[in-house]
Structure 1
Amino acid sequence: MANEMNTDQSTQAEPEKEPMLLLDTTGSMNYRTSATDATPRKDTIREAISIIVSELAAADSQAAEEEEGGGLRTITFADGQAHDLGDLNPNNLRQKWGSIRWAGGTRIMPGFNLLLKTYTDEFGSQPQAERPLLLALVITDGEADDTEAFRNVVARAAGSMYVVLAIIGYGPEHDQALQAYQQVEAQNAHVRVIPFAGETDPEKIANALLRMIA
């Protein structure tokens, strides 16, 4: 990630990163992926996440020893609620994905707060210098009603985490969300926004996000 983001640590060793996924599960994720592809956005993203967790599992030599086989810790958000799906990996992705309810409006902060709590619960007892740096991967298709609160929290945490926002979908809603999150990016060197306007290829989405993790 040192090549992707300005970490201001050019003279220091790059800290280990702990990727966690914050997934938008609002009703619009049922909508078509693009104007020319009727595949639901949630299905396109499922395939992308399948590629991501497979790559992470292949690189994790301790996965077999971890609870539930390890994987990508995932928090969902929709309609003012958040849920911890636990670790997603190739063995449980289908079952856990099937448990998701895709409905409601877009409020990101309940999910982001739960993601921060989950990270703190797991690593908060370690000395600051020994903790992996949180890498929040956010996948969404719309501007959140509480984007301003999200912007403020991310600003206060500047330097203590990375945030990567993948904006999928198409049309005015996509463009509005992209503009809102690019404003957050412009104010924080540890935030990156990746637009996937009308992108229908799960592999392209997965590879772009994997590059941010590497």
Structure 2
Amino acid sequence: MSDPRTLAVYNSQADAYVEMMEREASDDQMIGRFIAACPEGGRVLDLGCGPGHYARRMAETGLQVEAIDASEAMVDRASRLPGVSVRLGRFEDLTTTARYDGIWAYFSLLHASRAELPAHLDRIARALKPGGVLFLGMKRGNGGGRDRLDRYYEYYQRDELESLLTDAGLTPRAHWLGQGAGLAGSVSGWIVIRADA
């Protein structure tokens, strides 16, 4: 997430975003699927962690959790969570090799430009251990643009995402579709893809 206008929204709307995530994360079945796909006690990364609701769930199961976000306000909130090692950083700051058993990129990479996404996925593939798992959440649609809060989004269809994941050396294994209203209040479709290293 490198767009300064998008980051400004997350910094200024942090309290409202935390309230929304308190509701959404508690009912989200995807995090359970991710945790089940990771080895017990494994090392995982929450890439674009926001206030850390999902990172907290991971840590509660005994996973070794690292988290990164580009919003100072979000990092401040996530850093208060027990069992979570969080730092301020951008997607391009992921430079490790074969470190993680799982990477959770849940509705974060949708803020990256379309041109940058292949390089981000390459970094993720490199950072995963052999057999590691990625859960990628994105909004469904075409093109890109800003929502009413001024956050920038890129929208994707399943076939495009699966092609990009395959090009990065990852193997799509499963996907889930749905729809929901986020912080901006507008309903949109989403897709979550599990891809294995």
TM superposition score category, shorter chain reference: 0.3 to 0.5
* Bigger helix share: 1
TM-score normalised by the chain length of structure 2: 0.40
Whose radius of gyration is greater, 1 or 2?
1
* Bigger strand share: 2
